[in-house]
Amino acid sequence: MRPASATWSFRENISPSALSVTLDGKNTAVGTQNGLVFLNSRGRVLWFNKKIRRIKDVSVSTRSGKIAVGSSQKVLYLVNLKGESLWHRELDSSVIAVSISSRGNLIAIGTDEGKLILFDGKGKKIWEVHLSNSDFSVNSVDITSDGEFIIAGTDYSHLYLYDLKGNVLWSKETGSEVLKTCISSNGDYLGYLTSDRRFSFCVKNSRVLWEHTFDSQPLWVDMAQTADFVSIGESSNKVNLYNKSGRKVWGFGNEKSRIGVMASGGGNVILGNKGGIFNYSLEPYLKRLLTGCQKSIIKATDQNLDTAEARKTYDIASNNFSKSNYLDFLVNIQKARNLAREARVIESDDTPSERRLERNEVEESHTLPQESNEDEMMSKLVQLAEMRENGILSEEEFIMAKSKLLRL
């Protein structure tokens, strides 16, 4: 595995205890024993709230930007984007895990005495349950974007899914302590990491789609909102991505770190260790998705399938990618792949040669952005030449396509 370079790093003498990143990955909240640090898109400090101490977990809402902060001093805080505390609530036990909904109107917390509690955006307690009627710590809590579902994992080796009203939808024994959980934006998919080196990927009803046992204990896991892939910190210097089928699709070597999170939009990963916070881009993997979709569309077009809608959606996804709008990119690239897969046969009187020329136009108008127009032109000319050499295009078709390309 090739080592990757961080797009930015924040190197200070701090020891991060918790990390959370905004949907677009542009801002990072860092919890420490001595306060809450908020970093911008270049890893520079925007503010440092030193009034909140002994932070165990942080969670940034994707829409409002409000930050829920859990402290082992038995306090829950809600902080705005300026670093100002909007309110705080004193509790009977230490906050171990915290998760906030996208609008910041619901906050779920887990405590060291086995309690799962839901608050509204104004700090009012909505409900409280004692998981397993025991004092085993609730290690991880995740709430869906709309707040409809909450997943919680405990030291008691149990996993729970609750609804917004506080009803337990199911609970299951996991065999080992649940260390980390993650859930998609709508709750259709969820995952959990246990202390026996195992990660499990499930659907909403708790049925396991796949699981993997690692050689050593992974340090952290996280899921894109779309659940297209999960990121797993398999060791202190290795991060790998797994798709919905459980196949490892990409990975990179990183600077030594012990905690990590992924932007829920899927565009980057933030890692932390004593003395440093590091940002790594996932664009190389996302670009592979774009390339794979393009190939599927070209293949379907060559089979005389109607790919008009697939090409249109691909263009939208490509635009999302160029603007670093990664969540919309994941939604649209998946839609484009499905459209290409489900494309119907075109009823046409065109000859095979005419259809090949039409395919060439598709290739010309749906290529990934290049470094410059000159490079893009050269790439297309080389592609046409290879098609002529392989007998795909006749000499006449090659000249026609080349002339058309040069006119453009």
Q: Among positive and negative, which fits the CA dihedral 374, 377, 383, 388?
A: negative
Specify whether the CB–CB gap between 193 and 199 falls below 8 A.
Answer: yes
276-281/208-213 β-pairing: unpaired
Q: Which of 150, 130, 139 is nearest to 112 (CA)?
A: 139
Q: Give the model confidence (pLDDT) of 260-282 as tens digits.
A: 999 999 999 999 999 899 999 99
Q: How far is the CA of 317 from the CAs of 281, 313, 323, 327, 332, in angstroms? A: 18, 6, 10, 10, 5
Q: What residue type is assigned to position 351 of the chain?
A: T
Other Cβ atoms less than 10 A from the Cβ of 19: the count is 23
Q: Which residue type occupies 323?
A: K
Tell me the percentage of the chain whose pLDDT exceeds 90: 79
Select the more confidently predicted residue: 33 or 407: 33
Please state the pTM of the whole predicted model: 0.83
Instruction: Output phi, psi for 297, to 5 deg.
Output: -65, -45
Q: What Å distances lie between residue 2 and 133, 205, 221, 235, 258, CA to CA?
A: 47, 38, 21, 15, 19
Q: Which of 331, 124, 128, 71 is nearest to 227 (CA)?
A: 331
Residue 397 clears pLDDT 90, i.e. is over it: no
DSSP string, 332-357: HHHHHHHHHHTPPBP-----HHHHHH
Say what the pLDDT of residue 370 is. 44
Q: What is the mean pLDDT of residues 364-369?
A: 50
Closest among 174, 228, 249 to 206, alpha carbons compared: 174
Q: For residue 99, what are its two tokens?
A: 């998760």
Give the number of other Cβ atoms within 10 Å of residue 3's Cβ: 10
> Could you tell me which residue, 391 or 180, shows the higher pLDDT?
180
Three-state DSSP class for residue 398: helix
Residue burial 377-401, b: 16+ Cβ < 10 Å; e: rest: eeebeeebeebbeeeebeeebbeeb
φ and ψ at residue 149, rounded to 5 degrees: -135, 145
Contacts of residue 230, Cβ cutoff 8 Å, sequence gap at least 6 = 182, 191, 199, 201, 221, 222, 223, 224, 241, 242
Does the pLDDT value for residue 369 go beyond 50?
A: no
* Phi, psi angles (nearest 5°) of residue 76: -110, 130
Per-residue pLDDT tens for 113-169? 999 999 999 999 999 999 977 789 999 999 999 999 999 999 999 999 999 999 999
Of 95, 104, 100, 57, nearest to 73 by C-alpha is: 95
Expressed in angstroms, the distance from the first to the final Cα of the chain is: 41
The packing angle between helices 326-341 and 283-302, to 10°, is: 20
> How far is Cα 40 from Cα 43, in angstroms, rounded to an integer?
5
pLDDT digits (tens, 9 = 90+) for 38-91: 999 999 999 999 999 999 999 999 888 899 999 999 999 999 999 999 999 999
Residue 328 DSSP SS3? helix
Is there a contact between 6 and 254 (Cβ–Cβ < 8 Å)?
Answer: yes
Residues 218-246, mean pLDDT to the nearest whole number: 97
Closest listed residue to residue 161, CA positions, set 134, 182, 135: 182
**Considering Cα of 115, then 121, then 122, then 124, what sign does the dihedral take?**
negative
Q: What is the dihedral of CA 164, 165, 167, 172, to 10 degrees?
A: 20
